[in-house]
Amino acid sequence: MLQKTTFLSHSYAKPDGHTLAAYESAGGYKNARKALGMSRDAVVDEVKKAKIRGRGGAGFDCGTKWTFMPKESKKPCYLVVNADEGEPGTFKDRTIMERNPHSVVEGCIIGCFGIGAHAAYIYVRDELHLSKERLWAAIEEARAKGYLGQKPFGLDYPVEVYVQTGAGAYICGEETALLNSLEGRRGEPRYKPPFPAQVGAFGCPTTVNNLETIAIVPTVIGMGGEAFCKLSTLAEFNDGGSRLFGVSGHVKTPGVFECSVGLTLRELIYDLGGGILGDKRLLAVIPGGSSCPVMLPEELVNVPGDPRFEPYNGKSVLDLPLGVETFRSVGGMLGTCCAIVLSEDADPVLALHNLMRFYRHESCGQCTPCREGCGWIERILDKIVEGRATLDELDQLHRIASDITGNTICAFGDGAAQPVLSFVKKFRKQFEDYVLTGGKSQTKKLVA
Amino acid sequence: MPSFKLDGQDIPFEPGETIIAAARRAGVDIPHYCWHPGLSVAANCRMCLVEVLPPAGRKAMMLDVLEWDADKQDYVPAKKPKLVPSCQQAAGEGMEVASSSSEHVARARSAVQELLLLNHPVDCPICDQAGECRLQDYWLEHQGTKKRMHDEIVHKPKGVVFGPTIVYDAERCIVCTRCVRFCEEVVKDPVLEKRERGNLSEITLAPGRELDHGYTLMTEHVCPVGALTARDFRFKARVWFLRSAPSVCMGCATGCNAYLDFDPRDDTVYRHRPRENMAVNQYWMCDEGMLDYRRVHEGRLLAARVRGKKATLGDALEKAAGVLSGVDPERLGVVLSAQHSNEDNFALLRLGRDYLGTGHIYVSGRAEGLGDPVLKHADKNPNAAGVTALCTSTPPKTFAELAKDIHDGRITHVIALGSYSSDATKTEALGKLQGLVTLATREGPVAKHATVVLPVSSWAECDGTFVNAKGMAQESEKAITPRGDSLPGWKLVAALAKQLGLPMAWTKLAQVRKAMAPEAGATVAHATGAEA
């Protein structure tokens, strides 16, 4: 169901929307003041009721994550905000940082209070220069006004917020690699357990939240967790509220849109994205960031035995509301809710080749399967695209990807394997044609 | 003790212990590259993956993958359980773990093995690691298939000189980071680090640094493949021709347990490497110690000498007996050696003190050096504690005191073991002696001034017991046959006694040890000698 909201995007159209004045005129910082007047448990409770599924791709429930933090800790606790947005096709967090940075700062105050931290680090992808500038400016404004520091709003709960930049590695978006990078170490994921709530930044209990997750928290406190949750049509799937949806690729009006959870891919592509460029046929869509399996419009929902899926069974996956559990149940993945659309003019072989160049380049090189496997897959795809590959080599692709799956420290390996497995399964014919014609079957382009 | 089942076998574990560590203690080796019992867990090689079966009534976490169905000519969905690295997973009571009995584990290991060799040059014929390389061993055990990637491998730097002792080949490297972790965690000198990403990853030096701390050769030793090679050993020998003798390092009073690797065909020692002993050196040795094997071959004294001229052993023994016979015991000094075994020292002590009747006992050895908090002891002698323990009633006097006693005319004759003087400024006094019989392994100041020199076998050529600074008596075993005319020190002493007409009829080491037992005191520690 298409239901637009403006909790985060209300300031997007205003030229000065990123300033404190504009934010406060829209009711900003009232919610942080309110939260600091509540008990810590009450704040966490509201966030739990809101059923915010982590917006960074893994979809873990935010309130539940906050409860993992120790009630009492001898060590300091930290809130770390993941703004290392680097997934191909995902570009929602930067819009918040650039055009509504104060929602992040306010979210940090509430988040720190909710988890018992007094400092928040916002880890921003280095390439997002305007985002860093806007965040720093927002922090300075808030501090000057007395909203940050020793006594925010005159209340006795010190909070400081810092911006830390990455150095251009996609893997640092993985929360434990991010923590290593934050500490000045090599950005390599850590083995879990221990989880960050036990041993996180600088060896202290830490909660790592996606930037959009944190930015929506003030809204939750303002309207109450239950009311926020009810905005969604997927509340029964424990997926509440509203979120940012992105659409890119071969659509007429790509962009970021804020809507209630429950939006379908069809609405995202045709209503918000304006339909396929040149009114072509839709070939495929990658639902949320490049690590998710690619889906075809011909795929039908078939989840027997679960009454919640009854309205959708037999329908195209395009008509299934975008939710963490709905997509997991159909063998897909929601990810970041930023869909990449491929029109019938696009070449799926070139698309996978493009993705795997990215994953080969970004593998941190720690675990053997991912380090060597991604390189091998890219190399075979190179040869397929150049028309030098054999069928034997094509048959290696799913095997290598299957051997990476699950056998690495972090989810990067799975994220690199999923596109391969889904593309070869769903486009085997096109891959075979490349091999059999020596690459001459390539009539389509990557860019429409 | 709680236990878990590994492939049906009960394995006891300490609470908190990982599966791989508990299995190792029980003598079961789970294949691994990056894990090392003395280093932190990296869990990056993925060779030690195992399947932990879910508790009864619970479902295993399954992952979606694909198989190719040749009949259908299409992909079919498949499931596989999520495997866990046994180096990281703590063992739990009643846990059921499948390692060699799981087909999923077998496939995962085969895949890891193939991927590790994917961009490897496979230059075993010119690689020093060949014969003791895990890539070779595990290829046979866990893969055994031909390479399926037929393109040019990823090329990386080769023959990179890391420092005075180590050369690095990035193409052979599997980036397990054992060397990085060793430098950081054991030596506390983080001079190595990883650089680049993905399949371009390689080990590199910290900017402006060389790999030049005191434990550089250990990086080669912990390297499970041929990426790091020791400049001292590379291209010298093929390991399958070498045999290993459990020995004790002679470098200092720590008494690190070691292996002497030697070629029995030419009786040459090629390498010294650590042997695990948690009570002494754990898994490590220092560079000084690892290079100390050179003393077996360098600066050796291999033939007897009488007044500077080469002599047969028989002649020299006769002359030595002539020097010593009729000497007033009050003018005779006996110099024991902290460089030599308990057995050699005991034999000389028995001769000098009990048969020749002197009470003037001294000890010599190498001069003090630098120690460190890791392993190195400032006392650069392996058996100072043993010598002290042998001289039960009165502790031996120092070399400086010997020089003074000679100078004052109190000592006119000396029989000495070893050729080190402890104090280079005091060696001239030896020139004033009327007679000096030296039983020495190496050339040195004492041998230089000797009337008669008798060649003693080094520790590599005979069995011996050494007592380290902690008071642990440790046996070192014979590797090669005695070089030149040399004989074990106790044998030379017995031969000399025979010349002197004394009843010291030892012909076997066991006899010496039996005679020594009440005096040596300390018990002999035997090391386990397991491979990490």
Residues of B in contact with A383 (CB under 8 A): 151
Q: Does residue B265 sit in the same domain as residue B389?
A: no
A212-233: pLDDT as tens digits: 999 999 999 999 999 999 999 9
Nearest to A369 among B65, B68, B115 (CB): B115
Per the prediction, chain A carries an average pLDDT of 96
Q: Which of B18, B44, B69, B225 to mutate to test the interface with A (most CBs of A within 10 A)?
A: B44
- CA distance to partner chain B, nearest, from residue A201 (Å): 18
Q: Does residue B475 sit in the same domain as residue B504?
A: yes
B239 touches chain A (CB under 8 A): no
Share of chain A above pLDDT 90, in %: 96
Task: Give domain status of residue B8, yes or no.
Answer: yes
pLDDT at position B518 is 66
Q: Does residue B237 sit in the same domain as residue B323?
A: no
Q: Is the pLDDT of residue A266 over 50?
A: yes
* Two tokens, residue A24: 């406060």
Task: Give domain status of residue B531, yes or no.
Answer: no
Nearest to B75 among A367, A405, A428 (CB): A428
Q: Does residue B451 sit in the same domain as residue B372?
A: yes
Task: Give domain status of residue B154, yes or no.
Answer: no
pLDDT at position A114 is 97
3-class state of residue B155 by DSSP = coil
Q: Alpha-carbon distance B86 to B105, whole Å?
A: 11
A342-374: pLDDT as tens digits: 999 999 999 999 999 999 999 999 999 999 999
Q: Is the pLDDT of residue A425 over 50?
A: yes
**If we measure between CA atoms, which residue out of B424, B419, B507 comes closest to residue B456?**
B419
Domains of chain A (ranges; CATH) run 9-229 (3.40.50.11540), 242-343 (3.10.20.600), 348-437 (1.20.1440.230)
Task: Give domain status of residue B328, yes or no.
Answer: yes
B460-482: pLDDT as tens digits: 999 999 999 999 999 999 999 99
Q: Does residue B359 sit in the same domain as residue B490?
A: yes
- CA distance to partner chain B, nearest, from residue A391 (Å): 12
Q: Does residue B277 sit in the same domain as residue B313?
A: no
Q: Is the pLDDT of residue B528 over 60?
A: no
Final residue before a domain boundary, out of B143, B177, B194: B143
What chain A residue is nearest to B174 in terms of C-alpha separation?
Answer: A368
Residues of B in contact with A375 (CB under 8 A): 118-119, 154, 198-199
Final residue before a domain boundary, out of B247, B264, B296: B296
Share of chain A above pLDDT 70, in %: 99
pLDDT at position A237 is 96
Q: Does residue B332 sit in the same domain as residue B276?
A: no
Task: Give domain status of residue B527, yes or no.
Answer: no
Residues of B in contact with A362 (CB under 8 A): 197-198
Domain range for residue B212? 160-296
pLDDT confidence bin for B526, thresholds 50/70/90 = very low
Q: Which of B72, B115, B149, B203 to mutate to test the interface with A (most CBs of A within 10 A)?
A: B115
- The CATH number of residue B347's host domain is 3.40.50.740
Answer whether B199 sits within 8 Å of A407, measured CB to CB.
Answer: no
Task: Give domain status of residue B148, yes or no.
Answer: no
pLDDT at position B525 is 44
Q: Does residue B361 sit in the same domain as residue B233?
A: no
pLDDT confidence bin for B520, thresholds 50/70/90 = low
pLDDT confidence bin for B323, thresholds 50/70/90 = very high
Q: Alpha-carbon distance B430 to A31, whole Å?
A: 92
pLDDT at position B523 is 44
Q: Is the pLDDT of residue B519 over 60?
A: no
User: Which backbone phi and psi does A384 adopt, to 5 degrees?
Assistant: -65, -45
- The CATH number of residue B127's host domain is 3.10.20.740
Answer whether A407 sits within 8 Å of B46, measured CB to CB.
Answer: yes
Q: Does residue B507 sit in the same domain as residue B420?
A: yes
Answer whether A360 sits within 8 Å of B78, measured CB to CB.
Answer: no
A379 touches chain B (CB under 8 A): yes
A281-317: pLDDT as tens digits: 999 999 988 999 999 999 999 999 999 999 999 999 9
Q: Is the pLDDT of residue B527 over 50?
A: no
What chain B residue is nearest to A408 in terms of C-alpha separation?
Answer: B46
User: Which backbone phi and psi does B409 adopt, to 5 degrees?
Assistant: 80, 5
pLDDT at position B308 is 93
Kindly give the residue spans of alpha helices, DSSP state H, lying in B160-312: 178-181, 216-222, 287-291
**If we measure between CA atoms, which residue out of A275, A284, A296, A297 comes closest to residue A343?**
A284
Using H for helix, E for strand and C for coil, what is the string for chain A?
CCCECCCCHHHCCCCCCCCHHHHHHCCCCHHHHHHHHCCHHHHHHHHHHHCCECCCCCCCEHHHHHHCCCCCCCCCCEEEEEECCCCCCCCCHHHHHHHCHHHHHHHHHHHHHHHCCCEEEEEECCCCHHHHHHHHHHHHHHHHCCCCECCHHHCCCCEEEEEEECCCCHHHHCHHHHHHHHCCCCCCCCCCCCCCCCCCHHHCCEEEEEHHHHHHHHHHHHHCHHHHHHCCCCHHHCCCCEEEEEEEECECCCEEEEEECCCEHHHHHHHHCCCEHHHCCEEEEECCCCCCCCECCCCECCCCCCHHHCCCCCCEHHHCECCHHHHHHCCCCCCCCEEEEEECCECHHHHHHHHHHHHHHHCCCCCHHHHHHHHHHHHHHHHHHHCCCCHHHHHHHHHHHHHHCCCCCCCHHHHHHHHHHHHHHHCHHHHHHHHHCCCCCCCCECCC
Over residues B183-198, mean pLDDT: 97
Q: Is the pLDDT of residue B505 over 90?
A: no
Contact B51, B104 (CB under 8 A): yes
Answer whether A421 sits within 8 Å of B67, measured CB to CB.
Answer: no
Contact B341, B367 (CB under 8 A): no
Over residues A173-188, mean pLDDT: 96
Q: Does residue B292 sit in the same domain as residue B308?
A: no
Q: Is the ipTM of this complex over 0.85?
A: yes
Q: Does residue B491 sit in the same domain as residue B393?
A: yes
Over residues B426-452, mean pLDDT: 94
- The CATH number of residue B268's host domain is 3.30.70.20
B34 touches chain A (CB under 8 A): no
Q: Which of A356, A371, A382, A428 to mutate to test the interface with B (most CBs of B within 10 A)?
A: A371
Residues of A in contact with B65 (CB under 8 A): 398, 401-402, 405, 421
Answer whether B115 sits within 8 Å of A376, measured CB to CB.
Answer: yes
Q: Is the pLDDT of residue B531 over 60?
A: no
Q: Does residue B376 sit in the same domain as residue B329?
A: yes
| CA–centroid distance for A4 within its chain | 19
Instruction: Give the single-character DSSP code of B239.
Output: G
Task: Give domain status of residue B167, yes or no.
Answer: yes
Residue pairs spanning A and B at CB distance below 8 A: 118
B50-64: pLDDT as tens digits: 999 999 899 999 999
A188-205: pLDDT as tens digits: 999 999 999 999 999 999
Residues A391-400 as b or e (16 or more Cβ within 10 Å = b): eebbbbbbbb
Q: Is the pLDDT of residue B192 over 60?
A: yes
B80 touches chain A (CB under 8 A): yes
Final residue before a domain boundary, out of B83, B109, B143: B143
Q: For chain B, what is the domain count?
A: 3
Q: Alpha-carbon distance A101 to A93, whole Å?
A: 10
A298 touches chain B (CB under 8 A): no
Task: Give domain status of residue B153, yes or no.
Answer: no
Q: Alpha-carbon distance A21 to A25, whole Å?
A: 6
- CA distance to partner chain A, nearest, from residue B224 (Å): 15
B351-394: pLDDT as tens digits: 999 999 999 999 999 999 999 999 999 999 999 999 999 998 78
Q: Which of B104, B150, B184, B197 to mutate to test the interface with A (most CBs of A within 10 A)?
A: B197
B501 touches chain A (CB under 8 A): no
A375-423: pLDDT as tens digits: 999 999 999 999 999 999 999 999 999 999 999 999 999 999 999 999 9
B119 touches chain A (CB under 8 A): yes
